[in-house]
Amino acid sequence: MKIGVFDSGIGGLSVVRAIKKELPDLEIIFKNDKHNLPYGSKTSDQLFNLSKPILESLVEEGCRVIVIACNTVSTNIIDDLRKVINVPLIAMEPMVKPASEMTKTNIIAICATPATLSSGRYNYLKEEYAKGVKVIEPDCSSWSSMIENNEIDHDNIKNLTNKVCEEGADVIVLGCTHYHWIEQEIIDIADGRAKIIQPEKPVIEQLKRVIERQT
């Protein structure tokens, strides 16, 4: 089966790699929109107009399922895209619920783009699943660009990670696929003080369920 993976930039390649490892028989077509980066500062209308033709091209190339490997797109316009794209779309969104269930300190940190943090979907997740939990939202607005351009600011990552750990967060959520590329660095900095989670595994499990329904 042929599936598509779409992201704003190179972040989605980590998702492609994870899918290939788990489901090696799939044919995966990956497309991004690096010419219009960053997505994290765009409006919903801009996101829709940029994403729709790329997803349509994946359908035209025979993809029967598409993974939206972009939290910004998923949290802002997934419902609108599902109305116009005629194959199943699997969304990626910040793992607020798992983090809230895991925390022992009742403090979690969500690392995500400004557009994700301001989205209705993200705020619904907080209201629904993070009752009684303090949610720290550190300023990661520069991270996508620095990762995309391979200009990693290690001091910034270290300072931000240390800050949320010092504020008591014992779970750090990576709410942007770009951040998966620095996951190990964040794990090393957190050094047992906080667990680092991101949604590749649950997305792959959802992909398996969708594929099973199509075969």
Identify the CATH number of the domain in which residue 48 sits: 3.40.50.1860
Query: Which residues of the chain fall below pLDDT 50?
Result: none
Judge contact between 134 and 106, C-beta under 8 A. yes
- pLDDT score recorded for residue 171: 98
- Name the residue range of residue 15's domain: 2-93+200-214
Look at the alpha carbons of 14, 63, 28, 46 in this order and tell me if their dihedral is positive or negative.
Answer: negative
User: Same domain, yes or no, for 136 and 171?
Assistant: yes
- pLDDT score recorded for residue 37: 85
Catalytic residues: 70, 176
- pLDDT score recorded for residue 215: 73
User: Same domain, yes or no, for 9 and 88?
Assistant: yes
Distance CA 154, CA 133 (A): 29
- Closest to 34 measured CA to CA, from 144, 170, 193: 144
Judge contact between 142 and 160, C-beta under 8 A. no
